[in-house]
Structures are given as C-alpha cells and as structure tokens.
Chains A and B, each alone.
Chain A
Amino acid sequence: AQSVTQPDIHITVSEGASLELRCNYSYGATPYLFWYVQSPGQGLQLLLKYFSGDTLVQGIKGFEAEFKRSQSSFNLRKPSVHWSDAAEYFCAVGARAAGNKLTFGGGTRVLVKP
C-alpha cells in the first residue's frame, strides 16, 4: 500500500526567505509524485509532478522538487517566498498499477510573515 508522510504540519517563513517542504513516501515500485497547493476554501492546484527522468522537477510559481529514490523523498523548495504562497501544500503519490489513485500526505500549512 502507498503512504505519504509530510512531517511538518505548520511552517512559518518570512517573506523573501527560502522554503522547503518535506515529503516522504512508501511504495514498492517507482511511484508518480505530485505536489499540490490549496488556498482556503479552494480546490487543489498542481504545482509539479514527477513521473521519470530528471530527478529535479521545475513547477509553476517558482517551485521545484527533487526526487531522491534512496531517501524515498520528494521535497518541495522555493528560493524566495512571496506572501501569496501562504497556503496548504499536499504531497501525493500515485501509480498506474494502483489505477492512478492518489494517496495524499497530511498537508503542510505555510504561513508567510511580512
């Protein structure tokens, strides 16, 4: 069975500072990995995804993530945070063998200080 862990429930970061959100997964084969962002009362927006190939993935809004197979991790980073980045971030794992169902982590809420 797939599982996803986001160790940090809340993260507070100053505007302009760098941000890193952690994600660890458990799955027997190479999974598909996703990061989504959710603003309050809204649906989820896809930030980036990893299927195969280059392990450093670029996404929208200046985000990137790195797949590290040896650590079963897919951490999300942004070099300089903007106030509009305050939101809930979800890491998710899927696999074609699982019917492309997604298993979500618990989410990390990011607060941005001025």
Chain B
Amino acid sequence: GAVVSQHPSRVICKSGTSVKIECRSLDFQATTMFWYRQFPKKSLMLMATSNEGSKATYEQGVEKDKFLINHASLTLSTLTVTSAHPEDSSFYICSASPGLAGARDTQYFGPGTRLTVL
C-alpha cells in the first residue's frame, strides 16, 4: 500500500518551454502533497506544500510563478515548470500524505522525475 507514482520519469525539453509533471497516489487519498527538488549528491529541498482544493504554499525563495502547482483531486497533483531554463534542470520528487488519522503524518514518495533543460 501507499504507492505514489510520477510521470514522466524523465523529460528533456528546450529552454523556454513548459513542462508538466504529474504525481498520483495510487491506493490512497492524499489530502496533502509535497514537491521537492534534489540536486546531484544533495539532500531534498522542499519547494511547496499543496492541499487538495486550495492554493499551494511555497517555501521561501521558490518562485510561485515559475513552479505552478495544482492539486485538483485527492489523488493527483501537478507541477508545471514554466519557461524552463537550464538552471531548472534537476530531480523533482513528490510525496503524499494519506488523509487517514494515524497515517497523515507520514509522507510516501514518488520515484522522481529527471528534468533536463537544453
């Protein structure tokens, strides 16, 4: 149980284009989803927290107009990197917390999406 998927697993795009990454909780409903960015050989950096049906909360220093997050349902959140540039190249990982009491404090992670901007 508690499986989270991401799509695509890998994407290469040209500079200036937008890329959408999907995060799905497959066997549970996720009231909260989180988006992280991970640089090579580095730890995870939280970008934003999203709750179903409301606007995402961004961490300090994360451009909300560049990284658009939508959490339209209890099983799907999307991250859109708008007007991507090479410095946006990174490994993006989402996580989801179940809505059930006792489990909502645990985050289950997706497999990640490798974004390369040329």
Contact = CB atoms under 8 A, between A and B. Distances in A.
A49 B105 CA distance: 10
Contacts of A96: 105
Contacts of A49: 106
Interface string B72-85: 00000000000000
A44 B49 contact: no
Interface residues of B, number: 24
Interface of B is mostly: strand
Nearest to A91: B43
A94 B46 CA distance: 12
Sort A-B residue pairs by CB-CB distance and give the 3 closest, nearest first. Answer: A44-B109, A43-B111, A43-B109
Interface of B: 4, 6, 32, 34, 42-44, 46, 49, 57, 91, 93, 95, 97, 104-112, 114
Given A43-B6, A100-B107, 7 more contacts: A42-B111, A44-B93, A44-B95, A46-B108, A101-B49, A105-B43, A106-B42
23 contacts: A32-B105, A34-B106, A41-B112, A42-B111, A43-B4, A43-B6, A43-B111, A44-B109, A45-B109, A46-B106, A51-B105, A90-B43, A90-B44, A94-B105, A99-B49, A100-B32, A100-B104, A100-B107, A101-B49, A102-B107, A104-B43, A104-B44, A107-B43
